[in-house]
Amino acid sequence: MVQRAHVPQRVVGRSLPRLDAFGKVTGKAVYGMDFALPGMLHGAVLRSPHAFARILSVDTSQAQAHPAVHAVVTAADIPTDPAAADWREDHPESRRMADTEKPPTRYGDIVRDNTLLAKDVVRYVGQPVALIAATSEEAAREALRLIRVEYEPLTPVFDAEQALEPGAPLVHPEWEKYEAPEGMGRAGNICSRTRIRKGDVEQAFATADFIVEAKYHTGIQHQGHTEPRVAVAAVDGQDVLTIWTCTQLPFNIQNTVSRLLDRPSGTIRVIGLGLGGGFGSKLLLGGEAFAAALTLRAGGRPVRVLIPPGEDLQDGYPRHPSHTWLRAAVRSDGTLLGLQGRIILDTGAFSGSGPGLASVATLVLCGPYRTPNLDVEGLAVYTNKMNFGPMRAPSGPQAAFALESLIDEIAERLGMDAVELRLKNLVSEGDLGPTGQVLTGVGVREALQKAAAAIGWGEDPGPHRGKGVAVSWWTTTGGSSGVYVKLNPDGTVLLKSGAVDIGTGAVTAGAAQILAESLGVDFEDVIIGEADTGSAPFDYGAQGSRTTVAVGRACMKAAEDLRQQLLELAGELLQAPLDALRVGEGAVYRVDDPAIRKTLAELAEFSLEQRGGLIGRGTFIAPPTLYDESTTTNHFYPTFHSPSFHAHAVEVEVDPESGEVRLLRYAAAQDVGYAINPGFVEGQIQGGATQAIGFALTEELVYGPDGRVLNPNLTDYKMPTIADVPRIEPIIVESAGPYGPFGAKGVGEPSVLPGAAAIANAVARAAGVRLRQLPITAERLWRAMREAL
């Protein structure tokens, strides 16, 4: 339970049920998997069987002749890019190019290096090559087998460290032609290089009492969303292309499809449906552009594209595998003097979110510690594997695992208590972060102390048992959020936002509670409109633990706008000055005589006839966080905005005969600023900790020597079940953030950050050996214990 020093508000701060709860428990909620249109065709994707190969020819004639097939799309059918660096409409050589020679339209978060369909080269097993729409899924998949593609295999590279070696095969020989920001440090297979440097690192290591150095490795973790990625597209009588999809970023999908299909964004409408889990995978293109390309080819007839789980496990933007090297300079009393490090993110065949996340990783790798001298580098590196992408707190768990393992190794070297060592070096209120930002709302010490106490830190756990702790910090992502708040004639309030509630309750509980609190209406009187790019204001997207904070603040501004309109209208009707009126209890009333009032329903009905209704508008974008620019090079994310702080503590038992790890106790303390809905905050903490358990112990997509995923199914890819997860004790810490509503900070991602490190530290104590590679499977641990004998 959360304990507050101040009096709770009327609506916020309470564990109220989410507004979409009834629809979800009764089955009335419409998810992407539920959505269908009359006469709908079904799409399927032909994927590359090779990790790296030239495409010599594509023959679709037999597939097009199939009686059930209504559309076939290859790269030749996708609009080319007239703005590409290697092709210009006004250039004589370009005009002589055949359509097949013109460069395809490329897209990407930072580096535009990806294409909707492979044109000349395939770069990983599973890369999309062609699309088919037929009258059934079975017919579409049958027709895929009729497409003939001739390939010329090339030499691939599968390991990011090997990709950095001189003479390694280039995944993108033409990388210099890609559109990208200046100064990214691109070279060969490096698609970005970023650095944080401050102080005098060389002097720190020269004067240190001792130095601790180690390398750490993490595997590939899939998001494990229950609902597959699915989209339906159709063209209406006004030539508007509408896409219904389970996406976290409707506006980003709109813009990306506009670019890829060379279609004005105003003629594209994206409607966000219910999500059966996303965790970052549904931030990026799924089947939306495939469905759009097919429906345009099929004359506007609706087309549904579903990415089966087996395909998603081979091409679904899972968490980046990583290699991290760290070296710390330490005094004999445990004071951290300096840190050197490099984290390499394997970004796969395309850059995707890799360049940005390599920057984020460097901040996590520095940690919430007062380390005066830093030299930390982050690289995103191409390989011939699928494009890795954003998964809950992307790049954070990899970096936290390395840093917090190293901190424990320092404690072991010193013979010092691991909690005491952290408390000695943790940041406090007003300290500077790694890049010079001033830290406020710092709750990390309280989080660590409460988490450690919850598992009985300091008490002897007994044989084959061990306890571990880890801390970290995270950002509340910025970006703009706009909302409309419409007062209905019955006194209810419609909240219209471009933000999708992805299952967390960030919109249907958090933002709605903030709106009800700010407008003085009952929570049950708030109605949530659908996220629709055709009618909703822009929202940056359900990502980065930002939704409740950003949409909530926009709701507060919209409520202020609407309150002013209500006061002005009521002032006219009640013939009272505005300062004599108040909005609350579903009405506008006189302060000196509350019986003199107009209900919101009365005001709304009157406004329809006289003013066309009452609509409040609000927009919020987080203010920039100041930092010392001299500390960074090529950095895409130099500060953590309104940072949150967290600590996890676990107790484990290791079976010495099998290497199996059993979790006994798990406490997760999280500084959330202010818990808008404590019940849902606790749920997010427990859910993130569960994913941390999977990352630490069981989850890993494994590649074979030919570049194929060996376990593309949920039988061989082992996510934790309820039998694997102990009771996770959520501990809410509240240190108010600088701009969140009521002091709230981001909540959804931080709970996954320190867990794997805490488990690894506990396992090291229980087993007597330390594994520096995740996941810590029973086989790996058993082998390590045998080698240590």
Q: Catalogue the active-site residues.
A: 749
Distances (CA, A) of 443 to 453, 470, 494, 643: 16, 14, 36, 10
Residue with tokens 């867990």: 755
Report CA-CA distances (Å) from 497 to 247, 248, 502, 743: 14, 13, 13, 22
List of E strands, 199-293: 210-218, 230-235, 241-245, 268-272
Surface-to-core class of residue 134, CB atoms within 10 Å of its CB (0-12 exposed, 13-18 middle, 19+ buried): buried
Other beta carbons less than 10 A from residue 49's beta carbon: 16
Cα–Cα distances in angstroms (integers) from residue 245 to residues 7, 231, 303, 481, 500, in the given order: 41, 4, 12, 20, 11
Angstrom CA distances, 634 to 84, 108, 109, 355, 358, stand at 24, 18, 16, 10, 10
The candidate with the shortest Cα–Cα distance to 406, out of 696, 761, 161, is 761
Q: Using an 8 Å Cβ cutoff, are 76 and 99 in contact?
A: yes
From the list 292, 387, 392, 398, the residue with the least C-alpha distance to 348 is: 387
Length of the chain: 789
**Rounded to an integer, what distance in angstroms lies between the CA atom of residue 729 and that of residue 7?**
24
Q: Smallest Cα–Cα separation from 307: which of 277, 291, 286?
A: 286
Q: What is the 3-state secondary structure (H, E, C) of 759-772?
A: HHHHHHHHHCCCCC
Which of these, 337, 320, 650, lies nearest to 470 by C-alpha position? 650
- State the DSSP code for 578: G
Distances (CA, A) of 195 to 176, 366, 724: 21, 11, 39
